[in-house]
Structure 1
Amino acid sequence: MKTEEVLQHVTTPLVNPAFAPVVPRFTDREYLNIVYRTDEAALRAVVPEPLEIEEPLVRFEVMKMGDVSGYGPYTESGQAIPVTFDGERGEYLHAMYLDNFPATASGREVSAYPKTIGSPSLFADNGALVGTLDYGSQRVATATMGYKHHVLDLAEAAAQITVPTFMLKFVPGYDGAPRVAELVRTEITDVVVKQAWAGPARLQLFEHVLAPLADLPVREIVSASHILTDLTLAPVKPVHDYLKGVRS
């Protein structure tokens, strides 16, 4: 394989890439969002500078994606933390667990999503929308929301899911020292919110050493939403270089 042919690839194995070289389009992406209040000290221990926290809030999410170009269907769950950066409000993605390896690899390699393997699910059960997350054989989160209790304004629903997103991008060098250590920003584009609801909700987080969602404990449920939408994820852009000024 010639050099110019090698450079046409974005991941390995060259003959069987870990993910398709496409910009995925999400059709009928279904969200369960629960915003809750947590301990401020616990939150400050995990949110990196220069991001700032205004309130001790966390958004727990479960996303069921039945039609994703390039990856196929999968479900994802995690925690996002409302923050500000340089005066702009957004969310810091703290942790994401999903059941699809190509989406996991692509999210980490091409972008900076903090993805790892887990087993989330989202389904309706006897009048409730239920989102769960298992790590291995152990349950680490159970969320329930009243199923389609109150219609949510579509513009408000779009505003909830289109805030800027901040993540950490790390690429280690061969000596173990970081070659890249950046804070990056992205956002959702081409959004079409089809349906949205609000309603009562509950959230339980269970202790697990390898899936420590419960380190940000639930103190009060603030709001919950159930949203069905089509969307695309924009490429990431670096906004802060942690190595600037410390490179040898």
Structure 2
Amino acid sequence: MKAADVARRLATPLTAPAYPASRTRFRDREYLNIVYRTDPDALRAVVPEPLEIEEPLVRFEIMRMNQASNYGPYTEAGQVIPVRFGAERGEYLHQMYLDSFAATAAGRELAAYPKSMGSPALFAEHGALVGTLDLGSQRVATATMGYQHRPLDFERARAEIAVPTYMLKIVPGYDGKPRICELARTQITDLTIKDAWTGPARLQLFEHVLAPLADLPVREIVSASHIITDLTLAPLRPVHDYLEGNRS
């Protein structure tokens, strides 16, 4: 393979890349969102400057990708933290766990999503919408919500899903020091809300050293939603360089 051809590739293995280069369109993407109040000191310990916290809130989410071009169906779970960047309010992606290696690798390499492998699930059972997250044989989170108890206004659902999103892009160099260390921003585009509900909810988080969701403990459930959408993820752009002025 010629050097010019190598330079055009985005992923390895060179002849069988882990993911395609094209953008992904999500259809019938299903969310279970539970917003809860947590410990303010614990939250401040994990949110990086220059992001700021206004309220000690966390959104636990489980997303079932029923139709994802390039990857097929998979499920994802994690924690999202409401933040402010300057005058803009958005969310910081704290940690995410997927059951698809291709989507995990693409999210980390092509973008900056803090993705790791796990075993999330989203299903209906005995009148409840149930979301779980396991790491290996160990339960990390269990979320339940009354199944389609009350309709949720579509504009409220849109506001919940389409906020600006911030995440860290960290790429190490061969010397063991950061080669890239940036805060990046994206926002969902081409969003269609297809159904949305709210209702009573509960959330349990269990201690695990490699999936430390319980480090942001549940103090009070604030709200819950069950939303079905079609959407596209926009490309990211850097908004803050942590290495600027510190490169040798």
Give the TM-score of the pair, scaled to structure 1.
0.99
1:154 aligns with 2:165: no
Question: What do the CA deviations read for 1:82-113 (whole angstroms, capped 9, x no partner)?
Answer: 00001100000000000000000000000000
Q: Which residue of 2 aligns with 1:55?
A: 55
Instruction: Work out the CA distance in 2 between the residues paired with 1:77 and 1:133.
Output: 7
1:91 aligns with 2:95: no
Which structure 2 residues correspond to residues 59-208 of structure 1 after superposition, within 5 A? 59-208=59-208
Instruction: Work out the CA distance in 2 between the residues paired with 1:187 and 1:62.
Output: 18
Letter in 2 for 1:114: P
3-state SS of 2:97 partner: strand
1:5 aligns with 2:5: yes
Instruction: Work out the CA distance in 1 between the residues paired with 2:212 and 2:246.
Output: 31
Q: Which residue of 2 aligns with 1:229?
A: 229
Deviation of the 1:246 alpha carbon: 1.1
Instruction: Work out the CA distance in 1 between the residues paired with 2:156 and 2:66.
Output: 23
1:15 aligns with 2:15: yes
Letter in 2 for 1:97: Y
3-state SS of 2:194 partner: strand
Which structure 2 residues correspond to residues 13-52 of structure 1 after superposition, within 5 A? 13-52=13-52
1:219 aligns with 2:219: yes
3-state SS of 1:240 partner: strand
Letter in 2 for 1:25: R
3-state SS of 1:9 partner: coil
Instruction: Work out the CA distance in 2 between the residues paired with 1:165 and 1:198.
Output: 23
Question: What do the CA deviations read for 1:190-241 (whole angstroms, capped 9, x no partner)?
Answer: 0011000011100000001111100000000000000000000001100000
RMSD: 0.6
Count of residues in Structure 1 that have an aligned counterpart in Structure 2:
248
Deviation of the 1:6 alpha carbon: 1.1
Q: Which residue of 1 aligns with 2:210?
A: 210
Question: What do the CA deviations read for 1:136-179 (whole angstroms, capped 9, x no partner)?
Answer: 10001000000000101111101100100000001111101111
Instruction: Work out the CA distance in 1 between the residues paired with 2:69 and 2:132.
Output: 24
Give the TM-score of the pair, scaled to structure 2.
0.99
Instruction: Work out the CA distance in 2 between the residues paired with 1:218 and 1:119.
Output: 21
3-state SS of 2:196 partner: strand
- Unmatched 5+ residue regions in structure 2? none
